[in-house]
Amino acid sequence: MAQNYYQKETETMSREEMRKLQSEKLVKQVRHVYENVPYYKNLMDEKGVTPDDIKSIDDLHKLPFLSKADLREAYPYGLLAKPLSECVRIHSTSGTTGRRVVAFYTQHDVDLWEDCCARAIVAAGGTKDDVCQVAYGYGLFTGGAGLHGGSHKVGCLTLPMSSGNTERQVQFMNDLGATILCCTPSYAAYIGESLKEQSIGPDEIPLKAGIFGAEPWTEEMRKNIEQTLGIKAYDIYGLTETSGPGVAFECSEQTGMHVNEDHFYAEIIDPDTGEVLPEGSRGELVFTALDKEAFPLLRYRTRDICVLSRKQCSCGRTLVKMAKPMGRTDDMLIIRGVNVFPSQIETVLLNEGYEPNYQIIVDRVKNNDTFEVNVEMTADKFTDKVGEILAMEKSLSLAMKTMLGINPAVRLVAPKSIVRSEGKAVRVIDKRKLV
C-alpha cells in the first residue's frame, strides 16, 4: 500500500537527525520555562538544576517531574509561560478525576497541534477528497477542536457534528457521504449499535476509516467496531495537558501509535522510583513538550502504563511507537487484593459475545470487598427461560474469574440501562471508603 505522509520529512527523519532536532528544541524550551514559569523554576532550583545543565536530550532525566497535583496547585495560571495577550485559546479536561485542568495555547501551539492531528488523519488514509465527520465533543474538550483543525489542514470536507444526536449523525453520515469518523471508541460502538438496530449493514454506509481515542479501548472492541461499521479503526492518543489528541497516532500497521516526538518527547519511567527505563520496558509514560509556547509542560507524568518501541515500522515512519496504554496507574482497581483493569472485563464480554456495555460496582461490606458487574442483555441471548439467563450470568462470572482471578457477581440488565453519556462511559463505581 502506498504511504502518504502529512509532513514526510519529519515523520521519516533519521534517528540521528531527530535527536539533534529534539536536543535543540529542549535546550531552548528549558530556558523559556525557567525564565517564564516561576513554579517550575522553583522545582528546578530545589533539584539544583539550571538551564545550563541541559545541553541535549540526554540531559532530560535531570529535570523534575510534573504531575496532575502540580497542575491543580498551579491552577489556573501557575504554569503559563506566555502573557495571556499572546494566547488565543483555552481548553480544559473533562475533570473525571478531581479538579479540572486548564491549558493555554498560542497560535503557534494550535498550529503544531493541528499538524499532529493532520498527520493522524493522513496516516488513516485521509486526503483532501475525504469527508471527515468529527463527532468528538466540541467546546472545552480537546477532541472536537483538535481533529477539526487537523481535518482542515488536510483539506478534508469537515463535518463538525460534535457528539450526541446519534440519529442525525447517521443521517448526515449517509446523506453527505462521510468517509472518516472521529469520535470516542464507545461512541463509535454506540453508532454501530444504532446502525444495527436500523438494519443498516456496514456496506451500506460510506465510511472507510475511523480515528478513535480519548478513552481506553481494547483490540476486541476495535474488531467489533471495524465489523459493525465496515472500516479500519485507528487509535489516537493525547491529553489536554500536552495539547490534546494527536500526541500519538496509529498508522496502517495498527500495532501501536507513532509519537509526534518532534513536538512531544516520550519517556517510560518506573512509577515508584522515577528512574527512566530502557526501551521496551513497561512503565509510566512521561511527556515533555519540546516547542509549545503557552503551556509547555516538562516531564509530565501521564499515569498511563505503556511501552515504547523503536522497531522499524512498515509504514516508513521513524517516529517512536507507543503501545496502547495497558491501563492507568489510577484506574486500576484493587479488589480483594487483586489488580483489576476494566479493560479486562471488556475483553471477556466481547469474547463471550456481549456488547461492551458494562459497569463495575465495588463496595466494602463488613471489611470484605463486593464486586459486581452489570452487563446489558443482548437481543441474541434473551430467552423466556429464567434458568438459562441465570446460567449465562454464572458462565460470565466464571469467564471473568479465569481472566482476573476473582469472580464478580454478574447481573444482566436491560439494554441501554447503563448510562452512556455520549462521550465517556462511566465504567466503574467504587463505593469503598479507602483511606
- Minimum separation from the CB atom of position 399 to another protein (A): 19
Angle at CA 182, nearest 5°, toward 181 and 188? Answer: 75
Q: Applying CB under 8 A, which of residues 37, 183, 377, 425 lies at the interface with another protein?
A: 377
Are 259 and 317 a contacting pair, CB within 8 Å?
A: no
Regarding 200 and contact with another protein (CB under 8 A), the answer is: no
Cα gap 428→360, rounded to integer Å: 5
Total number of residues binding another protein (CB under 8 A)?
Answer: 17
Q: Where are the alpha helices (DSSP H) in 259-371?
A: 342-351
Regarding 419 and contact with another protein (CB under 8 A), the answer is: no
Strands 157-160, 131-134: pairing is parallel
Site string for another protein, 117-136 (x = CB under 8 A): --------------------
Regarding 415 and contact with another protein (CB under 8 A), the answer is: yes
Per the structure block, which three cell numbers stand in for 309?
518501541
Residue where the block lists cell 483532501: 128
- Minimum separation from the CB atom of position 225 to another protein (A): 22
Q: Applying CB under 8 A, which of residues 386, 419, 434, 435 lies at the interface with another protein?
A: 386
- Minimum separation from the CB atom of position 408 to another protein (A): 13
Q: Report the residue number, 197 or 253, with the smaller CB distance to another protein.
A: 197
Q: Report the residue number, 390 or 426, with the smaller CB distance to another protein.
A: 390
Angle at CA 372, nearest 5°, toward 419 and 340? Answer: 95
Residue 283: its H or E element: strand 282-289
Are 98 and 110 a contacting pair, CB within 8 Å?
A: no
Regarding 379 and contact with another protein (CB under 8 A), the answer is: yes
Q: Report the residue number, 200 or 276, with the smaller CB distance to another protein.
A: 200
Q: Report the residue number, 377 or 425, with the smaller CB distance to another protein.
A: 377
| Environment class of 312 (CB within 10 Å of its CB; exposed 0-12, middle 13-18, buried 19+) | exposed
Cα 228 to chain center, whole Å? 22
Q: For another protein, which stretch binds (CB under 8 A), given 261-269, 320-328, 376-384, 398-406?
A: 376-384
Regarding 196 and contact with another protein (CB under 8 A), the answer is: no
Are 320 and 258 a contacting pair, CB within 8 Å?
A: yes
DSSP string, 141-172: SHHHHHHHHHHHHHTPEEEE--S--HHHHHHH
Q: Applying CB under 8 A, which of residues 417, 426, 429, 431 lies at the interface with another protein?
A: 417
Regarding 77 and contact with another protein (CB under 8 A), the answer is: no
Q: Report the residue number, 128 or 385, with the smaller CB distance to another protein.
A: 385
Regarding 412 and contact with another protein (CB under 8 A), the answer is: yes
Q: For another protein, which stretch binds (CB under 8 A), given 48-56, 188-196, 313-321, 415-423?
A: 415-423
Cα gap 102→93, rounded to integer Å: 7
Greatest distance between any 2 Cα atoms in the chain: 74
SS3 of 34, please?
A: helix
Nearest Cα neighbor of 193 from 154, 228, 156, 221 is 228
- Minimum separation from the CB atom of position 362 to another protein (A): 18
Tell whether omega for the bond before 64 is within 30 degrees of 0, i.e. cis: no
Q: Report the residue number, 127 or 417, with the smaller CB distance to another protein.
A: 417
Indicate left, alpha or beta for 380 from its phi (over 0: left) and psi (-120 to 50: alpha).
Answer: alpha
Site for another protein in 320-349 (CB under 8 A): none
- Minimum separation from the CB atom of position 366 to another protein (A): 20
- Minimum separation from the CB atom of position 377 to another protein (A): 6
Indicate left, alpha or beta for 399 from its phi (over 0: left) and psi (-120 to 50: alpha).
Answer: alpha
Q: For another protein, which stretch binds (CB under 8 A), given 82-90, 151-159, 317-325, 408-416?
A: 408-416
- Minimum separation from the CB atom of position 373 to another protein (A): 12
Q: Report the residue number, 414 or 435, with the smaller CB distance to another protein.
A: 414
Q: Applying CB under 8 A, which of residues 84, 176, 390, 398 lies at the interface with another protein?
A: 390
Q: Which residues bind another protein (CB under 8 A)?
A: 377-379, 382-386, 389-390, 411-417
